[in-house]
């Protein structure tokens, strides 16, 4: 695995970058061999606007000024390309690292800490999910740009597209988009991960589409990012899926997981939306789940939820598209078995 690449800005400078040992040189994805040179076009530099946090283009001349003489509140990042046939990359850029430390720029330092924490969490807990429901993470890198922007720290991850927040603002959200968001959270919980990104959760879910028709497609890929506040080791006790369930008086305790309850509310899946045409009541599904666990007390809750989804919500997209089978499909409480290590494929 190479620990050195070249990063080039269109109509600007080019630098050699080295793999950083921060947080460690652990289980990150390896950059494809054709991507030892990464290229950033002049129209692919961005900041997130203060307030609504929408993506806005910035210019190359602003890069060396970032955190040079004061603190920063808007993250700086780029969409970059490697050699063909490789994909696109998201680079989170931190110019003037030494000035940030000298000036004690608290907001900029906090951004750096979150990016380091995110990288560490990817390496420790998410490496096997890279490219499936989370982006591939290629680690942290640094380069010395001299008088241009000092020492620059940056992360490289897979480019994942447009945020669900932006899709909502544009008025292009569909029921299938919402279900895809919920599915990502359910899959994370089955892997023992709580995301905990409550401040702006829909900023953290990205859809890999470049057109409105692609974003509305049932097959558009969806990813979740930013694990700086995430925790591992979760044993999810949810008893309902994140689907359009319709109105109910069911309690948070009956649903069984705080983050799942939050997503059901934020996606408006427990209200009177027109797309909420429940095939059963949440109360009935929870009662069935209770009886299922009585019938199969040693089963994993994730398997019970697969059986519940097959029985009560068969017209909605599946949580797992492959990798499992119902052992006794004619039973009221069919057992489920994983048959391959492909649970996260979409």
Q: What pLDDT is recorded for position 1? A: 54
* Ranges of the chain whose pLDDT falls below 50: 342, 346
Query: Which of 44, 57, 66 has the alpha carbon at shortest distance from 152?
Result: 66
Non-local CB neighbours of 203 within 8 Å, separated by 6+ positions: 53, 163, 164, 165, 197, 226
Domain boundaries, the chain: 4-158, 162-338
**14 touches 8 (CB < 8 A):** yes
Residues facing residue 110 across a β-bridge: none
The Cα–Cα gap between 45 and 39 comes to: 11
The Cα–Cα gap between 123 and 117 comes to: 10
Query: What stretches of the chain show up as alpha helix (H) in DSSP?
Result: 97-103, 106-121, 164-170, 175-190, 212-216, 252-255, 258-266, 282-295, 301-312
Give the number of other Cβ atoms within 10 Å of residue 254's Cβ: 17
| Two tokens, residue 153 | 């720290």
The Cα–Cα gap between 255 and 238 comes to: 5
Residues 74-101: pLDDT tens digits?
Answer: 999 999 998 755 579 999 999 999 999 9
Q: What pLDDT is recorded for position 47? A: 93
Q: What is the DSSP string of 206-237?
A: EE--SSHHHHHSTT--EEE---TT-EE-----
Q: What pLDDT is recorded for position 342? A: 47
Non-local CB neighbours of 175 within 8 Å, separated by 6+ positions: 244, 275
Residues 195-240: pLDDT tens digits?
Answer: 997 778 999 999 987 766 677 766 788 999 999 999 999 999 999 9
To the nearest whole number, what is the mean pLDDT of the chain?
A: 90
Q: Is residue 126 helix, strand or coil?
A: helix
Query: Which of 315, 313, 310 has the alpha carbon at shortest distance from 326?
Result: 310
Query: Which of 333, 309, 334, 335 has the alpha carbon at shortest distance from 240?
Result: 309
The Cα–Cα gap between 136 and 127 comes to: 8
């Amino acid at each position: 695995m190479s620990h050195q690449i070249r990063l080039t800005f269109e109509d600007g400078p080019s630098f050699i970058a080295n793999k950083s040992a921060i947080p460690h040189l652990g289980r990150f994805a390896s950059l494809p061999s054709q991507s030892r040179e990464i290229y950033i076009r002049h129209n692919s530099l961005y900041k997130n606007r203060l307030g609504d946090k929408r993506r806005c283009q910035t210019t190359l001349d602003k890069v060396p000024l970032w955190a040079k003489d004061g603190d920063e509140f808007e993250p700086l990042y780029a969409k970059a390309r490697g050699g063909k046939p490789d994909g696109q990359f998201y680079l989170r850029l931190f110019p003037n690292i030494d000035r940030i430390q000298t000036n004690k720029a608290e907001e900029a330092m906090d951004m750096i800490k979150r990016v380091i924490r995110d990288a560490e969490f990817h390496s420790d807990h998410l490496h096997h999910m890279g490219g499936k429901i989370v982006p591939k993470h290629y680690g942290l890198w640094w380069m010395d740009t001299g008088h241009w922007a000092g020492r620059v720290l940056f992360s490289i991850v897979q480019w994942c597209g447009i945020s669900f927040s932006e899709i909502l603002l544009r008025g292009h959200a569909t029921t299938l988009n919402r279900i895809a968001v919920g599915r990502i959270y359910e899959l994370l919980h089955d892997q023992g991960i709580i995301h905990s990104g409550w401040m702006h959760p829909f900023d953290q879910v990205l859809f890999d589409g470049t057109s409105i028709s692609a974003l509305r497609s049932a097959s558009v890929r969806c990813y979740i990012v930013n694990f700086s506040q995430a925790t591992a080791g979760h044993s999810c006790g949810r008893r309902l899926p994140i689907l359009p369930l319709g109105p109910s008086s069911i309690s948070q305790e009956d649903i069984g997981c705080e983050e799942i309850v939050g997503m059901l509310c934020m996606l408006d899946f427990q209200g009177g939306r027109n797309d909420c045409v429940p095939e059963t009541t949440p109360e009935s599904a929870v009662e069935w789940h209770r009886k299922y666990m009585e019938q199969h007390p040693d089963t994993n809750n994730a398997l019970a939820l697969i059986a519940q989804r097959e029985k009560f919500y068969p017209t909605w997209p599946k949580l797992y598209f492959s990798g499992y089978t119902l052992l006794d499909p004619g039973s009221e409480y069919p057992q489920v078995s994983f048959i391959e290590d492909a649970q996260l494929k979409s």
